[in-house]
Amino acid sequence: MMDFDLTQCQLGSPLALARGEHLFQMHDAANGELYYVRSGHIKLYQQCPDGVERIIDFVQPGDWLGVDTIGEPERHASALALTDCELDLVPYRQLAELMDREPYSCDLFSAMLSREIERQQIAAATLRSAGACQRIVLFLLKRAGKAPADPAEEIHAALPMSRQEISDYLGLTPATVSRTLSLLKRNGWISLGQRGFVVQSREALEQLAAGMPLTEVPALA
């Protein structure tokens, strides 16, 4: 099935967000507004009463924001830009009117909602049951996106969040995150940059993500 195309539907108003700027904050009025991320990276988090920040998700290009508050009066979390971002603001009212006029667009939007729910369920299950290495590798694969047609092609992906933010999100310590990333690099499966990484063996990462022990995955370095 095709992706939900805002351009063809003539929906969405462009919106620019600078690094460090909030798109919205927890308890802000939702106003029936959805956002589609065209470029950039956003952190979703909740501020607990004791002042501790609880990271909900990291949003990247191709993701939607606000789906969880359709029909709700206020935002459940804050959204902070980790990089400069370009988004489309889509009023749900306009989207609903389009779906009434064009049933096919309703099918596309329903498919998008299903993918979003599935993504959140997989993320929650991973945090509950996976080991440290598996959590980190699954996180990296999500950042890397779809596999290229050529298996030998390197995949460059952004990693704009800090090690502390990654560890908070995955429920690990910063030392564990740093140690595991160094191990993945040492074995030749990834290379690390200032604010990103390169997947050098997606096959190895997928084996680790599936639960294969580190000792059974061939090193490349």
- Which whole-number Å values give the CA distances from 189 to 149, 179, 192, in the listed order? 18, 14, 10
**Span 83-135, pLDDT tens digits:** 999 999 988 887 777 777 776 666 667 677 777 777 677 767 666 678 999 99
Confidence of residue 8 (pLDDT cuts 50, 70, 90): low
C-alpha atoms less than 13 angstroms from C-alpha of 102 in its C-beta half-sphere: 11
**Span 71-84, pLDDT tens digits:** 899 999 999 999 99
In terms of pLDDT, which residue wins out, 130 or 168?
Answer: 168
What is the C-alpha to C-alpha distance for residues 219 and 85, in angstroms, rounded to an integer? 36
What is the C-alpha to C-alpha distance for residues 207 and 204, in angstroms, rounded to an integer? 5
pLDDT of residue 42 exceeding 90 = yes
Q: What token pair was written down for 124?
A: 């929650």
- Architecture of the domain made up of 131-216: Orthogonal Bundle (1.10)
Choose the weakest-confidence range: 32-46, 119-133, 194-208: 119-133
| Structural domain spans, the chain | 6-127, 131-216
- HEC secondary structure over 41-75: CEEEEEECCCCCEEEEEEECCCCEECHHHCCCCEC
**Span 44-54, pLDDT tens digits:** 999 988 888 99
Q: What's the pTM value of the predicted model, to 2 decimals?
A: 0.84
Q: What is the CATH number of domain 6-127?
A: 2.60.120.10
